[in-house]
Structure 1
């Protein structure tokens, strides 16, 4: 009986191993090329003229009087959409509506409601009646006044109800009101403005993070349900943007102005069903979900929020002490 030595076995395996290696390298190279081309398509070329009033004459924006919502309203008005603005303050709504009419010569309508309530949707439905809606921006949202442990949140019962109503119920109800007419026309876009905080648990912002994770899952599930019917539903997960909610005042490369963020994000519509919306944020999203272990992201996020909590409480105690004419004490 002929016996094989190790050299014979290696010779027999040489050709299969060569082809396995070749195919592996080829797949890796093709994957890199595909990702580079996709990146250029998304972040350089964009979606062209997808977002125009051909989708429908009207755009609806919730939380439209400040920050990202206001910037969406301005950019969509610049593109020729008539604007339905929905927010809590009628005075602020009137100011934004007047500005849009004067700057972009578009029609505007407003609805003043508090999304912390659940009895508002009949009023909104009446206000939307008869409008050909091409785009819905579910932007309204509320966060913590400062990072805090769950059981230490002031007025926790009402805080829970308000945050769930604003961050979760609103997106479900507004979609319920707008989506049927979009499906009838087989075209329309819904952008749900979630948060990078919804990509992983964020300690001391736990409830906010959880509501934004719901928004992300809700968006991606609906997109799969309705994309074959001509509807685009996109989950938008920004990191920090210069807004009143974030209390960031000075823009940087990774903390853009709302105008800069919105211009970049709208170019991704139709190209990504889930997006960070802005290239530096996309890099941050890739690093924190693909490269850095989850436990490190959670650890450093919690550490940052604990430091912010301590700083906030120390400042609050100092202000109270100054008001009472005494010296402040450091908070643990």
Structure 2
């Protein structure tokens, strides 16, 4: 008993001295929990406001909000075509820009007949450096351009290592994915600033949220558009201009034909029409969004992954895709 009593006294004294630290840790834990709950609630509200509420309360008048005409680059297939159709569905006149005159004529005629809006088109190959821009500038002169969608882009034929890319591919990535956006913005932004309204949508990519090996140059070019959009927003938001970085993941389009896994419609891989319907609804609400609530889940997870995990998984997955594509080519 003599030994037990001193041990009990010692334990009681240690407990008293530690009680302050236990209480401090409890306060820190409670504060952390409260912050996380508030953050979760805010993020949930923001997601509902962006992806659900616009579908419930009805569509905004894009013509009144921004202007009569929209310019869409890369608009004869995929996201560009679907986005142009979605804008036309809401009463906006459309100017299509792409390199195939036959496709432009067909899409222009289809949109005009289906949605009863005015359409026009400009034949332009953005891979030709400075060559296409004088004709584009002349075509857009004196038009009430309210919305610009920089969608045109070139993608890898299949995932590959940097040294396997041709010099032509490297030049195209810069001219088509980067230079075109700069020049198109330069043409329409002064008019928007003068009338103090307008919207610019730069179609980036989910691959830009973390370094993505095997799509290195493509991801880097799309990261440029993301950065450009966010910086321009701070420059021109006070002038009434809405600038959005649209960062979709895989969509079932011709650009994703390098793998059957990512080219077929599924839960996380929508059709271009489904994606465009959601993306247009985010105009005026978010300056940086995936445009589609299922892609927003993927983007949130991707941003919080350690970089090495993202890169390791991308390298593993895209190497597998590359191997399958090359095997099919050899057959």
TM-score for the superposition, normalised by structure 1: 0.88
Distance 1:309 1:14 in 2: 55
Gaps of 5+ in 1: 319-332
Distance 2:178 2:313 in 1: 27
1:171 is displaced (CA, Å) by 0.5
1:16 is displaced (CA, Å) by 6.3
The aligned residue for residue 313 of structure 1 is 326
1:309–1:17 Cα change, 3 Å = closer
8 Å Cα contact 2:71/2:149 also seen in 1: yes
1:8–1:308 Cα change, 3 Å = closer
Alignment of 1:1-332 (within 5 A): 6=14, 9=17, 20-46=28-54, 49-50=59-60, 52-54=62-64, 55-117=66-128, 118-153=130-165, 156-247=166-257, 249-290=263-304, 292-318=305-331
Distance 2:307 2:24 in 1: 38
1:14–1:289 Cα change, 3 Å = closer
Pick which of 192-201 and 76-85 moved more. 192-201
Q: Give CA deviations for 1:262-282 in whole Å, capped at 9, x if unaligned.
A: 111122222221111111111
Q: Give CA deviations for 1:169-217 in whole Å, capped at 9, x if unaligned.
A: 0011100001111111111111101111111222122111111111111
- The alignment yields a C-alpha RMSD, in angstroms, of 2.0
Distance 2:240 2:167 in 1: 41
1:263–1:22 Cα change, 3 Å = same
Q: Give CA deviations for 1:6-27 in whole Å, capped at 9, x if unaligned.
A: 5655566677666555544433
Gaps of 5+ in 2: 1-12
Q: Give CA deviations for 1:109-144 in whole Å, capped at 9, x if unaligned.
A: 110010101221111010001111111000000011
**Structure (1/2) with the larger helix percentage:** 2
